[in-house]
């Protein structure tokens, strides 16, 4: 808990105890008498509590003042030995410290100005520094200090990584790095903030990321590498006559295991772009890395043709599901399609309390443009950006596939989909690599030929590799229903 939050909590507690203290005294005054023994004991206890809180508040405010004084100056000298100010790695946001003389000559006034960056930008700045430096940690540190003085966390992370590499070369015993050591390892924790910043940007843009957001039910989150036992059928009891043999029964169980799968991509950017430090370049770096992961995750999550590949990738949630063909394009046909999809849940005795529609934006747009004879929308809760369809939340994505006869609409019971996700993206950069500039590298099946390779060094390019560990699986096969061949154009 932050110091400001602790202070606020103590202040609120003190106010409650003061109110209780006043109530005890007023009760005695109202009755024109002295406090009895129990009232006096309560009064003394509350008074002691208030004194204790006052002492604690004094200490907290003193500590808060010390932290403000020790705030890192933008562009100020940095202690290479790790003892300088602001090397804790705990600043939640980029902070500018502005100092100016007071008008009455009483001293210097310090103003802390916090600037909120767009999600993913701070992480993109870190990637740019690492990419532009081409693995040279000293150069990356210089670039971070030069271009991003308002985000000292970036320099702290790079500096901590640099110190870590130097420590590895020292031929003497050293203590292990910890998250509480201000000069050895705690600044590394800031990278988790950067990655979390990137994930915050990435998740809402994906189908997976929209679950659990804006009123949409969440998927069932579980850890990696766990076994989940389930019962697939129940036993049967029988009425038995006197002296008759008792029939046997059996109960079926299964074992589900969710290991980790890795989704990765490599984006190639020019050195000139990485060195060009302005917000648009930062956004481009961020978007280049995010777009590739978004496409892969969204496509493979709902593509019915995608089967599981052992130790490589999971099957889509729609794989193996027999689709229902749409009844037609009119509003009545839409309602029939909805009833058909919901009927699959009812037949499997699944309460669709966490049901979610997944469809293309064009399908949602078609539905929003259906009007009745009075000119009123048939489905008023829906727009091309999502909303609700007959009270069920809608996720729209351009990666929902088309069938030969039209679009596809997927109904998912979110609580019946397992999701294992470590919630981090790992970024590596290389200028020396030679890459096959293709989405289907031949090195998967053999050694690529020289003619297929492009040198990052020769072309002044930097390769950024992004990786994320994630896996999903249906809890039961009936958790997904599909309507295909959709064309809701308002006609039969």
Does residue 382 lie within any of the structural domains? yes
Give whole-number Cα distances, 294 to 32, 199, 427, in Å: 74, 11, 15
Strand-pairing partners, residue 355, are 413
At 164 the pLDDT is: 56
What tokens appear for 245 in the block?
């043999």
Same domain, 43 and 151: no
Does residue 274 lie within any of the structural domains? no
What tokens appear for 339 in the block?
């009833």
Does residue 90 lie within any of the structural domains? no
Give whole-number Cα distances, 452 to 38, 182, 190, in Å: 89, 47, 39
Instruction: Give me the CATH number covering residue 425.
Output: 3.30.2320.10
- CA gap 305, 401 in Å, rounded: 10
User: What are phi and psi for residue 397, nearest 5 degrees?
Assistant: -155, 140
Same domain, 157 and 302: no
Same domain, 431 and 320: yes
Strand-pairing partners, residue 427, are 466
User: What are phi and psi for residue 451, nearest 5 degrees?
Assistant: -65, -20
Residue identified by tokens 């679009």 is 407
Does residue 419 lie within any of the structural domains? yes
With contact defined as beta carbons under 8 Å apart, do 275 and 448 qualify? no
Same domain, 331 and 474: yes
Same domain, 16 and 134: no
Does residue 225 lie within any of the structural domains? no
- CA gap 140, 122 in Å, rounded: 15
Does residue 434 lie within any of the structural domains? yes
What tokens appear for 24 in the block?
């005890």
Domain boundaries, position 187: 117-168+176-203
What tokens appear for 92 in the block?
């939640």
Does residue 292 lie within any of the structural domains? no
Same domain, 411 and 339: yes
What kind and span of H or E run contains 454?
strand 453-455
- CA gap 289, 458 in Å, rounded: 22
With contact defined as beta carbons under 8 Å apart, do 440 and 403 qualify? no
What tokens appear for 51 in the block?
């004194």
- CA gap 20, 14 in Å, rounded: 10
pLDDT lower than 70: segments of the chain: 1, 68-116, 134-135, 161-196, 200, 203, 230-234, 275-280, 439-451, 492
Same domain, 7 and 154: no
User: What are phi and psi for residue 403, nearest 5 degrees?
Assistant: -100, 175
With contact defined as beta carbons under 8 Å apart, do 257 and 308 qualify? no
Residue identified by tokens 């490599």 is 266
Same domain, 57 and 140: no
Same domain, 473 and 334: yes
Claim: this prediction has a pTM higher than 0.75:
no
Same domain, 356 and 478: yes
Same domain, 31 and 125: no
Number of compact structural domains in the chain:
3
- CA gap 362, 385 in Å, rounded: 9
Same domain, 63 and 198: no
Does residue 132 lie within any of the structural domains? yes
């Amino acid at each position: 808990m932050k110091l400001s939050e602790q202070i606020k909590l103590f202040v609120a507690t003190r106010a409650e105890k003061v109110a209780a203290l006043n109530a005890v005294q007023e009760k005695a005054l109202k009755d024109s008498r002295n406090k009895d023994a129990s009232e006096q004991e309560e009064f003394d206890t509350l008074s002691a509590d208030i004194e204790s809180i006052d002492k604690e508040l004094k200490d907290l405010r003193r500590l808060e003042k010390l932290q403000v004084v020790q705030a890192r100056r933008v562009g100020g000298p940095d202690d290479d030995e790790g003892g300088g100010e602001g090397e804790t790695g705990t600043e939640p946001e980029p902070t500018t410290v502005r100092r100016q003389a007071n008008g009455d000559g009483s001293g210097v006034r310090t103003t802390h100005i916090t600037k909120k960056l767009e999600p993913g930008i701070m992480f993109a700045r870190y990637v740019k520094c690492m990419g532009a430096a081409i693995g040279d940690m000293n150069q990356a540190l210089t670039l971070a200090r030069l271009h991003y003085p308002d985000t000292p966390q970036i320099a702290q992370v790079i500096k901590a990584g640099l110190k870590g590499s130097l420590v590895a070369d020292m031929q003497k015993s050293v203590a292990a790095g910890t998250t509480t050591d201000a000069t050895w390892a705690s600044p590394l924790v800031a990278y988790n903030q950067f990655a979390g910043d990137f994930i915050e940007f990435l998740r809402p843009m994906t189908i997976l990321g929209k679950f659990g957001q804006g009123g949409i039910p969440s998927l069932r989150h579980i850890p990696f590498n766990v076994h989940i036992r389930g019962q697939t059928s129940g036993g049967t009891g029988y009425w038995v006559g006197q002296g008759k043999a008792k029939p046997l029964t059996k109960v079926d169980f299964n074992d589900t295991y969710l290991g980790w799968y890795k989704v990765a991509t490599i984006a190639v950017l020019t050195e000139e772009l990485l060195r060009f430090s302005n917000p648009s370049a930062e956004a481009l770096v961020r978007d280049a890395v995010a777009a590739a992961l978004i496409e892969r995750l969204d496509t493979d999550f709902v593509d019915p043709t995608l089967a599981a590949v052992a130790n490589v990738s999971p099957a889509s949630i729609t794989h193996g599901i027999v689709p229902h063909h749409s009844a037609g394009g009119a509003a009545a046909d839409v309602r029939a399609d909805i009833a058909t999809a919901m009927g699959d849940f009812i037949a499997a005795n699944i309460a669709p309390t966490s049901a979610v529609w997944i469809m293309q934006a064009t399908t949602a747009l078609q539905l929003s443009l259906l009007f009745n004879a009075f000119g009123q929308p048939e489905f008023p809760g829906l727009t091309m950006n999502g909303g609700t369809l007959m009270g069920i939340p809608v996720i729209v994505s351009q990666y929902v596939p088309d069938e030969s006869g039209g679009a596809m609409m997927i109904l998912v019971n979110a609580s019946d989909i397992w999701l294992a996700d470590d919630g981090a993206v790992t970024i590596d950069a290389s200028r020396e690599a030679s890459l096959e500039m293709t989405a289907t590298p031949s090195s998967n099946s053999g050694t690529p030929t020289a003619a297929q390779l492009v040198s990052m060094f020769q072309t002044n390019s930097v390769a950024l590799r992004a990786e994320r560990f994630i896996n999903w699986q249906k809890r039961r096969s009936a958790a997904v229903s599909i309507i295909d061949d959709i064309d809701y154009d308002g006609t039969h």
